[in-house]
Amino acid sequence: MNNRNNIFIPESFICPITCEVMRDPVQDREGNSYERTGITDWLSRKGTSPISNSPMKVDDLVANRSLRNAIEEHLGRPSVPATKAKVVLLGYSQVGKTCVLERFIRNTFRSNTVSTMSICNFESLNMHVNENIVKLEIWDTAGQERYFSALPKTYFRDVVCGILVFDITDITSWDNIPIYLEEMKSFAPPDFVAVLVGNKLDLGKRSNRVVTNAMAADFVAKNVDHVVEYIETSAKTGENVNDLFQLVARKSFEVLSDPNRKVRRNEGSITLAGLTAETIQGASPASAKKRWCC
Ligand SMILES: Nc1nc2c(ncn2[C@@H]2O[C@H](COP(=O)(O)OP(=O)(O)OP(=O)(O)O)[C@@H](O)[C@H]2O)c(=O)[nH]1
Ligand SMILES: [Mg+2]
């Protein structure tokens, strides 16, 4: 039992290495949690678990978000107010949008999923960006056209960051990426950022890859106004999934903390509930050009 500044702190909130309340807990394969910096430093020197003494690597560690949220909840939420960022997952059906989100939030993977049919799935959690806290509100969308086209355009109104997901082994999913970007350009605030994600990296390693790094890099280069980075993930193995959302939190925070943001959002025309005059007046170029590969 711990008592710091008259607040009761359960043992499970204390890192066994640093003996401090954990801010960024990570979990090993045996289910033990540690403060990230403490265990990283320990492993670089010893290479074994401090609890069982068995061999352990930094790669064996995964973020323990539920514990972090529990700690923050217990301590009365973070002292720094969170900046809220609406994030939307977009991409063709079956590319793994729901699985990537599940991997990040619950650290689980299902090999048989049901296609998302609504826009009701959203997850929210706090992420640290240096000393700041960004509350990511991550909305999953349906990739199937009949459900996606039913998505109200107001849905994009306050989106700060789009995660454009394709499957590196599926060319159709790649061919559809520009459609999602156009959709965001038409309906999201003008300063939105997008991260391009090539998912199913585990399959690509078995020479099934059809979308190359060069193709993705070329797309980013041609869309630098919005697409800020390309990252490859595997929801199955978890590879780069945490890095993806850390990147999303960082980029979202950059957008939201830009002092010129408000000015830019109102630049040149009226904005009605986040929609620009161009959007209000005419049909979007995206919807005119829309081509779905079914
Ligand atoms: N091998 C492998 N399979 C994956 C990966 N991510 C998702 N899958 C599989 O791909 C299928 C589709 O995953 P979902 O997450 O449901 O795809 P989605 O993009 O949400 O699909 P919609 O909801 O229809 O838009 C499932 O069978 C998953 O198990 C991955 O990284 N590697
Ligand atoms: Mg889905």
Q: pLDDT grade, residue 206 (50/70/90)?
A: low
Distance between CA atoms of residues 189 and 168, nearest Å? 28
Residue identifier of the C-alpha nearest atom 16 of ligand 1: 113
Q: How far is the CA of 99 from the centre of ligand 2 (A)?
A: 7
Compute, in angstroms, the gap from residue 233 CA to the centroid of ligand 2. Answer: 16
Enumerate long-range contacts of 264-273, CB under 8 Å, 24 or more apart.
264/190, 264/191, 265/189, 265/190, 265/191, 267/190, 273/154, 273/157
216, 83 contact by CB (below 8 A): no
Q: How far is the CA of 71 from the centre of ligand 2 (A)?
A: 30
- Which residue owns the Cα nearest ligand 1 atom 21? 94
Question: From the alpha carbon of 117, which atom of ligand 1 is closest?
Answer: 23
Task: Please tell me whether the overall predicted TM-score, pTM, comes out greater than 0.75 for this model.
Answer: no
Q: Where do runs of H (alpha helix) occur along the chain?
A: 36-45, 65-74, 97-106, 145-148, 171-175, 177-187, 201-203, 213-222, 241-256, 261-266, 277-281, 285-289
- Domains of the chain in start order, with CATH, are 12-74 (3.30.40.10), 83-278 (3.40.50.300)
Q: What is the pLDDT of residue 281?
A: 31
Q: What share of the chain is helix, strand, coil (3-state, %, to 5)?
A: 35, 25, 40
Most confident residue range from 39-48, 116-125, 199-208: 39-48
Distance CA 139, CA 123 (A): 7
Q: Phi/psi at 140 (nearest 5 deg)?
A: -90, 145
The DSSP secondary-structure symbol of 79 reads S
Q: Whose CA is nearest to atom 6 of ligand 1?
A: 96
User: What tokens appear for 254 in the block?
Assistant: 């950059």
- pLDDT 10s digits, 68-125: 888 888 887 655 667 899 999 999 999 999 999 999 988 889 888 888 887 657 888 8
As a whole number, mean pLDDT of residues 194-216 equals 92
Higher-confidence residue: 162 or 108?
Answer: 162
- Distance between Cα 96 and ligand 1 center (Å): 3
Q: Residue 286: pLDDT band by 50, 70, 90 thresholds? A: very low
Whether 293 shows a pLDDT value over 60: the answer reads: no
Of all atoms in ligand 1, which is nearest to the CA of residue 112?
27
Ligand closest to Cα of 101 equals 1
* Closest CA to ligand 1's atom 14: 96
pLDDT (tens digit per residue) in 262-271? 655 544 333 3
Q: Of 66-70, 130-134, 217-221, which one has max mean pLDDT? A: 217-221
> Mean pLDDT, the chain, as a whole number?
83
Higher pLDDT, 78 or 41: 41
